[in-house]
Structure 1
Amino acid sequence: MWNALIREAAAVGRSVRRCFTEAGPERETAVQSLKAAGAALLAWALAGWWWNAPMALLAPWTALFLVQSTVYRSLLTALQQVVVVVTGTLLATAALALTHDTMAAMALALPLTVLLGNYARLGTQGLYAPTAALFVLAYGTYSGFDILHRLLETLLGAAIGIAVNATVLPPVHSGRVHHLRARLPRDCARLLHEVADGIETSYDEERARGWYDSAVRLADEVTKLRTARRWSDESHRFNPGRRMRRSAAAPPSAEWDFTWDRITEHIRAITRSLSEAVSYPESALGVPGILSPLMRAAGDVLDCRDGADDGHHRARQSLQAAVAAQDRLAAFLAEGRQEAMPALGGLTADTERLLDDLTMVVDSWDDDTTEDRARSSPRP
């Protein structure tokens, strides 16, 4: 028990340390939490201390929840919350005016506001419709003056929450996109090298299934990349501070995602074909002497992306070696050994599609290098 508590305390300590020493999710969470607390304090100072408003609680309450993970989400949440609070307040006011009884008004207003709160377009803000109604019904404050103050204090808290989120270290979530962009080529290269080594020695059905499972996980990484890109795009919308933050580098083009979606799909198809080819004799399939160099060269192409001129040159050489191996594989297929035709035909088609996309990737790297040289060269 004590050991578990000590490990948990150590994990918490490491997370706290990362908040102050490393850029990452922990620091982003800490910054947003401190911003939310600061926005609530500022809203209370204005509404409760300086203005001495009768419903001052609504201002910090609204500001606290409007420091969202993106500026766009703060704006959207503010719109939703204002609509929900106003609607809940008006429904409760109308119920009290009709019944002149708190219990009867609750029985009339709460079902309507809870139904409104479950409306999908209002998201998590829908909960505040019955909450706003309960404020009105519990305190019996439903005069025109009270309603006006509720609206003004809600708007004040919303304005403060949005302003704090947009001006104090506005959140930009491009790091995950860049991380996955760097990770995908390395993971693909590692799997291709593993397949090449396995083919060169020998492999069985269990090992081939392991390659296939790894290829499926690569496809999952592309899905994560798409999710991270949507999050990054949202964080750049209506964000006035994205140009001022050095860490807010523009994410790579969405075309990159589509290319790697195809590459990971080709690798998955190759590993599936290899698992199906286990039943064929190695000599009939022709795998050891042809496909292994092809897979290794394809992996070398992805391993050479290090941003240096020599890396691009080595990537081009590796691609040429992979294409030469592909030509040998196609020639082997043309010999027409019937016992190997089904598996070999599928492998040849899969590897050809993979090399076509790797050619596009290497060409894009060359274009990036040319642009970098143009930007770095002195202007006349």
Structure 2
Amino acid sequence: MEAGPERETAVQSLKAAGAALLAWAIAGWWWHAPMALLAPWTALFLVQGTVYRSLLSALQQVVVVCCGTLLAAGALGLTHHTMAAMALALPAAVLLGNYARLGGQGLYAPTAALFVLAYGSSSGPDILHRLLETLLGAAIGIAVNAAVLPPVHSRGVHRLREKLPRDCADLLHTVADGIEEPYDQERAHGWYDRAVRLADVVTELRTARRSSHESYRFNPGHRLRRSAVPPPPEDWDFTWDRITEHIRAITRSLSEAGWLADSVPDVLAPQLRAAGDVLASRQDAVEERRRALDTAEAAHHRLASALADSGNEATPALGAMTADTRRLLDDLAGVVDAWNGDAVARERAARHG
């Protein structure tokens, strides 16, 4: 069974605690550093969700700690008074901390300045110790995150790859069943709302893919933890962006039309149901998908014929739905080709493996 997010959180928490303990053992117990707290404090917060994030945060934190320390030391050297030095150094440190490129690490600029001013540790050796202990903690945090079960975030992409077809198929089946009987606008608006939410899943997929890509950067152990199923290519996201947009357009036309001529549901419902069957089929069901797609194509031909009937009273709505379903089937054909190619490749690999 694949580990869930709770396990990942537990592992990262234990790694952060372990990094802090290791940093304290080196800086406080073995080195007897005068400001040993800085090493475990830095290590604790640099066990981030990805190795790349740990490296970036370490660079940002070292920069802000250096700047905050030097600002405070300079202000104290000029004023020789703690309160006056705070009034001089803290505004600049807070402004620096709010610089967007420093991200969440910007907070440590005024924090480092306060440490210096509160304890009066502004001599050259004190400043050097602060920087060395910060660097030690950063190195330990990065090393622990990279060497001990380095995080790889590919699960979200795989989960959404399964969720999108399932949700689209469920909605298409619901709409197909719904238009076979009289429906009101409230019900059609419900279908449209569900279609709009499909776009949120596509957005979530893009976010998950960015997280997955980031987790592979500078990660020395990702090959050891590679998932058995490779993530889909990036153009897969754009395909599903189009598919969800087509479904949204179809449900919008249904909600705006309010009703359909008697002959339309008889051809539109089978087409939407067959399109849903394409998406609901098993990944290895090559022939099943082909049959469902052929059924949808035949139903669309009948829908186009209904549009050509000049006596049809729902021509504006029917014309929009005919165009949208045509575009939907074109993209579904691309999905079917990709899925069938994957199925054949897996079968061939299993046969030769």
How many angstroms does 1:37 deviate by?
0.4
Go from structure 1 to structure 2 and tell me whether the alpha carbon gap of 1:84 and 1:250 turns closer, same or farther (over 3 Å shift): farther
How many angstroms does 1:248 deviate by?
7.8
2:86 is matched with 106
How many angstroms does 1:247 deviate by?
4.3
Decide whether the 8 Å contact of 1:174 with 1:249 is kept in 2.
no
Does residue 303 (structure 1) correspond to residue 303 (structure 2)? The answer is no
How many angstroms does 1:103 deviate by?
1.2
User: 1:67-78 residue pairs with structure 2 within 5 A?
Assistant: 67-78=47-58
What amino acid does structure 2 have at the position aligned with 1:171?
P
Q: SS of the counterpart of 2:152?
A: coil
2:209 is matched with 229
2:36 is matched with 56
How many angstroms does 1:129 deviate by?
0.5
Q: SS of the counterpart of 2:313?
A: helix
User: 1:287-366 residue pairs with structure 2 within 5 A?
Assistant: 287-304=264-281, 306-308=282-284, 311-337=285-311, 339-366=313-340
What amino acid does structure 2 have at the position aligned with 1:363?
D
1:245 is matched with 225
CA deviation profile, 1:213-255 (whole Å, cap 9, x unmatched): 1111111111111111111111111111111115485422111
Give the aligned CA root-mean-square deviation in angstroms: 1.5
1:278 is matched with 258
Q: Which runs of 4+ in 1 moved over 6 A?
A: none
CA deviation profile, 1:276-321 (whole Å, cap 9, x unmatched): 22145x32xx3221001111111111111x232xx11110001001
2:27 is matched with 47
Decide whether the 8 Å contact of 2:306 with 2:312 is kept in 1.
no
1:265 is matched with 245
What amino acid does structure 2 have at the position aligned with 1:293?
P
Decide whether the 8 Å contact of 1:199 with 1:287 is kept in 2.
no
How many angstroms does 1:203 deviate by?
1.4
Range with bigger deviation, 152-161 or 202-211: 202-211
TM-score by length of 2: 0.97
Decide whether the 8 Å contact of 1:199 with 1:292 is kept in 2.
yes
Query: For residues 52 and 97 of structure 1, what CA distance do their matches in structure 2 show?
Result: 27
Query: For residues 22 and 303 of structure 1, what CA distance do their matches in structure 2 show?
Result: 23
CA deviation profile, 1:138-171 (whole Å, cap 9, x unmatched): 1111111111111110000000000000111111
Q: SS of the counterpart of 2:231?
A: coil
What amino acid does structure 2 have at the position aligned with 1:297?
A
Query: For residues 312 and 244 of structure 1, what CA distance do their matches in structure 2 show?
Result: 32
What amino acid does structure 2 have at the position aligned with 1:181?
R
Query: For residues 211 and 60 of structure 1, what CA distance do their matches in structure 2 show?
Result: 53
What amino acid does structure 2 have at the position aligned with 1:291?
L
What amino acid does structure 2 have at the position aligned with 1:372?
R
TM-score by length of 1: 0.90
Percent identity of equivalent pairs: 73
How many angstroms does 1:25 deviate by?
1.7
1:376 is matched with 350
Decide whether the 8 Å contact of 1:172 with 1:248 is kept in 2.
no
Query: For residues 134 and 200 of structure 2, what CA distance do their matches in structure 1 show?
Result: 42
1:8 is matched with none
Query: For residues 341 and 93 of structure 2, what CA distance do their matches in structure 1 show?
Result: 57
1:123 is matched with 103
How many angstroms does 1:105 deviate by?
0.8
What amino acid does structure 1 have at the position aligned with 2:211?
W
For structure 1, the residue ranges without an aligned partner over 5 or more in a row are: 1-20
What amino acid does structure 2 have at the position aligned with 1:302?
L
1:137 is matched with 117
Go from structure 1 to structure 2 and tell me whether the alpha carbon gap of 1:314 and 1:343 turns closer, same or farther (over 3 Å shift): same
Query: For residues 23 and 63 of structure 1, what CA distance do their matches in structure 2 show?
Result: 25
Query: For residues 149 and 180 of structure 2, what CA distance do their matches in structure 1 show?
Result: 53
Decide whether the 8 Å contact of 1:242 with 1:248 is kept in 2.
no
Q: SS of the counterpart of 2:314?
A: helix
What amino acid does structure 2 have at the position aligned with 1:307?
Q
What amino acid does structure 1 have at the position aligned with 2:322?
T
What amino acid does structure 1 have at the position aligned with 2:143?
A
Decide whether the 8 Å contact of 2:160 with 2:201 is kept in 1.
yes
Go from structure 1 to structure 2 and tell me whether the alpha carbon gap of 1:236 and 1:95 turns closer, same or farther (over 3 Å shift): same
Query: For residues 207 and 179 of structure 2, what CA distance do their matches in structure 1 show?
Result: 34
How many angstroms does 1:206 deviate by?
1.1
